Amino acid sequence: MSWVWINGRMKPLAQAALSVEDRGLLFADAVYEVVCVVRGRAVDVEEHWRRLWRSMREIELKAPCSRAVLTLLLERVVARNRLKEGMVYLQISRGSARREHAFPDPCVPANMFLFATHGKPPPAAPKLLRAVSVADTRWRRVDIKTTNLLANCMALEEAKARGGDEVLLYDEANDLLREASKSNLWLVTNDGGLLTPPCTTNILGGVTRRALLRLAEGAGLRCLEQSFTREEAKGAKELFLTNSTGFVSVVCSLDGDAIGRRKGTASQRYPLAHRLYGLYTERMGSL
């Protein structure tokens, strides 16, 4: 049985419910985080809470509890679900109130829930993904981790209809790539350097992205937060994605064009992505 912590109580998943007037449901007036769990331990919790508090501040949502209490709730959900490998999803909305666009006045209590999803241990090597580029039609504040993800979902469905596993979103005005549906984007230059688009209001700053930047710099790699076009991505030595549950995933083709070397094993064709994947999984084991 799966257990959900919701508004102060632990309930079986089938009994967990919110009012139809929840503003997260009606307006996507909610923020969320996804925390990876490996060998029963949550990864990068404080980094997730740092981003969560920023998201709440940006949409003027008062935190319903302290970070310390939230960490305890996370641990309770992990323990109650006997979660060894997988993730915990957390969502906080502005609460339940009469359907009006203006924020409730006076304020109503926030709605908060956490639930667990069981998964598998990290694989030995990063996944290989075929990507398709789609114009970015999302709102202008994707740096806030809100539940407003319909444009992401529609772009991913378009990519799948075109034979892809993942979508890379680009700015139609200048052809610069931004990120994937739920991942940050990285390029390996021909001289072995790393590029990743800078965190603007058009990109969500990933927790794994921050961790990998530190790992890469610690390994002596040259890292630049710099944008690049679709054509530059197609000519890259390697192209890969990072997120909290997939860690590092290799983009082996973009719009049907192969990325990197054509021959050899995956680790030979994409050596730096494999090296960084190894560094990241080693780091998780030491946390």
Q: Tell me: domain 127-286, CATH 3.40.50.2300, correct?
A: no
Which residue is listed with tokens 């940006």?
Answer: 58
Q: Which residue has the higher pLDDT, 187 or 283?
A: 187
Tally of residues, the chain = 287
Give the mean pLDDT of 14-41: 97
Start-end of CATH 3.20.10.10 domains in the chain? 127-286
Of 50-64, 103-117, 255-269, where does mean pLDDT reach its minimum?
A: 255-269
Is 145 a catalytic site residue? yes
Structural contact between residues 237 and 190, judged by C-beta atoms closer than 8 angstroms = yes
3-state SS assignment for residue 179: strand
Residues 96, 21, 5, CA angle at the centre, nearest 5°?
A: 60
pLDDT in tens, 226-281: 999 999 999 999 999 999 999 999 999 999 999 998 889 999 999 999 999 999 99
Q: The domain 3-118: what is its CATH number?
A: 3.30.470.10
The residue from 145, 160, 182, 234 that is catalytic is 145
Q: How many CB atoms lie within 10 A of CB 79?
A: 12
pLDDT in tens, 135-149: 999 999 999 999 999
Start-end of CATH 3.30.470.10 domains in the chain? 3-118
